[in-house]
Amino acid sequence: MACREPLRRVLVLKFTMTPRAPLPVSSACNRRQFLQKAALATGAVVFPSLIPATALGRNGTIAPSNRIVMAGVGFGRRAEYLTGHWFLQQKDVQLVAICDVRKERRTAAKQRIDAHYKNTDCTTCVEMDEVLSRADIDAIVSATGDRLHTPVAIRAMRAGKDVYSEKPATMTTGEGQELVRTAAAYGRVYQAGMQRLSERNFIFCDELARRGFLGEIQTVHAHLAPWGGVHMRRDWLPEQPLPNPAEIDWDRWLGPCPWRPYNQEYVKGGWHNHYDFYTSVIGEWGSHTFASCQSALNAQDTSPVHYPYVNNANADGLAMTFANGVKMLSLADSQWRGSCGIRYIGTEGWCATADGYSAPEVSNPALLRDLHKIVQNYLLRTGRELDHVRNFLSCVKSRRETVANPSLTHRTMSTVHCANIAQWLGRDLTWDPVKEEFVNDDQANRLRSRASREGWQIV
């Protein structure tokens, strides 16, 4: 499909517009009500024998009025996994469009989606406005590079779409604040891809901590990725000839980042560990593990207040302190047998888990006897599922708050950003989580936001 207008031009209009009143219901609900009224007006109910079973949701199918119509924005390897293992497996979801700046990805995604649905209905585009302007689309799944997660989510919510966004959800605390404001102002459902908040072993450990099974929590450990570093690259890769925009739109690929010469290594994933594109080794896994820790501590609406400087490459041993004295220690060591591990230590015991554990580790094996009961009680109390995508889709229908909601997402990513800034500046910092600013440190406060290229500013 031909692109009608450059993304960077559209963003000026979208981001400078005066927010509309909150939307009371989803666009999906409005459309379904219209279809129901139209069916009655045309007398469709008089001839039920002419309506296919699929249209009525019979024979194991989902009626179109109950389906969530979605589009994908950014379709690399993570998006392939999200759609192939999760979204396409949901009977009440229909993916109808793909937006990506790379032609090869658009083409490959369309082929997979069309093969799944056994049709040729999936459309493709480069300009996201072609997706957001479609009244039939209820929600988007965004799996772009880190630099675009917030701009895509905000623009989609302002267009009336619900959003499932990959992590790390924000690049700065300023982006996080606007993410929270936008979701509230437009009545949108938002879920960040912090999927361990919906996994059995992590939920069990979180419940042990938050419900007193471990006594008074004194320290929590959060696993950091054992590669890369906090001090990211600020240089540019050597310039190469610009590709054909029909194959790769370099301007749109850069998004809000400062202009830099094209080099194919960026597009192949070489943007990692570059300051303009990445949230450092702290954001890589901390976006997961900080979220689990803060959820377990009932600290979803705050962040630690003290961030010490640690003199090593990957922030190993960084001990952040909450206002109540509880410490969150970020570790890049191997105390866990898998990735994204967490450990909660209380006055009466401890528990730990990570990816790949068949069951959590606990100080008292007797705790494991109640694993199923504790997890089931959590699910009954919250109305959530052991499926992060399913939680998002259920909330799209019910308009309830997701587990990785905008507030938790923003506050845990604020922890990431504050920890980064302390390491970049090489000194201890004090954070005021109410004012959301550093105490008596103008230089640190200036790093709460980043300049964006003209046309990409979020205002």
Question: For residue 58, what pLDDT band results from cuts at 50, 70 and 90?
Answer: low
- What structural domains does the chain harbor? 197-230+278-388+405-441 (3.30.360.10)
For 408-427, the pLDDT digits (tens) are: 999 999 999 999 999 999 99
State pLDDT tens for residues 179-189. Answer: 999 999 999 99
Its sign, for the CA torsion 439, 442, 444, 445, is: positive
Give the alpha-carbon dihedral of 97, 191, 403, 158, to 10 degrees. Answer: -110
How would you classify the pairing of strands 123-125 and 93-99? parallel
Residue 54 reports pLDDT greater than 90: no
E runs forming strands in 284-426: 306-307, 318-321, 327-331, 342-346, 349-353, 361-362
Which pLDDT band holds residue 392 (cuts at 50, 70, 90)?
A: very high
On the question of pLDDT at 30 being above 60, the answer is no
- Distance between CA atoms of 138 and 156, rounded to whole angstroms? 10
Sheet holding 342-346, edge to edge: 361-362, 349-353, 342-346, 217-223, 327-331, 318-321, 306-307, 429-432, 437-438
User: In angstroms, rounded to a whole number, what is the distance separating the alpha carbons of residues 93 and 393?
Assistant: 8
pLDDT of amino acid 47 = 39
Exposure on the CB side of residue 450, measured as CA atoms within 13 A: 22
What is the pLDDT, as a whole number, of residue 57? 54
At 454 the pLDDT is 87
Cβ proximity of 392 and 197 under 8 Å: no
Would you place residue 79 in the very low, low, confident or very high pLDDT band (cuts 50, 70, 90)? confident
Q: What is the pLDDT of residues 100-129, one digit of tens each?
A: 999 999 999 999 999 999 999 999 999 999
Per-residue model confidence (pLDDT) at position 60: 58
231-277 pLDDT per residue, tens: 999 999 999 999 999 999 999 999 999 999 999 999 999 999 999 99
Whether residue 143 contacts residue 72, with contact meaning beta carbons closer than 8 Å, is answered with: yes
The stretch 302-316 carries a mean pLDDT of 96
Q: What percentage of residues in the chain have a pLDDT greater than 70?
A: 86
CB 167 within 8 Å of CB 287: yes
Across residues 383-406, what is the average pLDDT? 97
**Separation between Cα atoms, residue 380 and residue 388, nearest integer Å:** 16
Position 356 pLDDT exceeds 90: yes
Please tell me the distance from the alpha carbon of residue 119 to that of residue 50, in angstroms, as a whole number. 22
Q: Which residue has the higher pLDDT, 124 or 61?
A: 124
Name the nearest CA neighbour of 189 among 6, 28, 405, 411.
405
> Going edge to edge, which strands form the sheet with 123-125?
123-125, 93-99, 68-73, 139-142, 162-165, 190-192
Averaged pLDDT of the chain:
88
State residue 282's pLDDT score: 97
CA distance 122 to 36: 25
Share of the chain above pLDDT 90, in %: 81
Q: Over range 346-366, report the average pLDDT.
A: 97
Our CA angle for 183, 188, 192, nearest 5°, is 70
